[in-house]
Amino acid sequence: MPTIASTPAPHRYDPLPPDVLAAALRELPGWHGDTRRIARTVEPDDMWTLLERVAAAEADLDHHTVVDLDAGTVTFAVWTHVCDAVTAADLELARRIDAVVDGA
């Protein structure tokens, strides 16, 4: 029987199981989705500053979001394209986007 020490940690680009994603989404207010994509829509006061700060977070993480601009709102859609699923890297990016949106 494998021990915890011998069980490999999940890679940050491994698809997340549905229960892990559901638990994470409960801790990410405003985010919704499924195992393939998560998204959040915001209405920023200064859209361009928000986008610049999110771009800096993306560069820092070497992971990127798909941005949709529409009538004063910005929707961030996040998933790992190589596996077409939500991964730990996507949750990390969602948290960083939240920090930018919240002004942290």
Provide the 8-state DSSP code for 85: B
Tokens 């998560």 — which residue?
38
pLDDT value, residue 104: 56
Average pLDDT, the chain: 91
Q: What is the CATH number that goes with domain 12-101?
A: 3.30.1360.20
- Given a cut of 80, whether residue 52 has pLDDT beyond it is yes
pLDDT band at 5; cut points 50, 70, 90: very low
pLDDT value, residue 75: 98
CA 81 – CA 96 distance, rounded (Å): 19
pLDDT value, residue 12: 87
> In Å, what is the CA distance from 21 to each residue of 52, 53, 87, 88, 103?
27, 25, 9, 9, 25
pTM given for the model: 0.88
pLDDT in tens, 23-41: 999 999 999 999 999 999 9
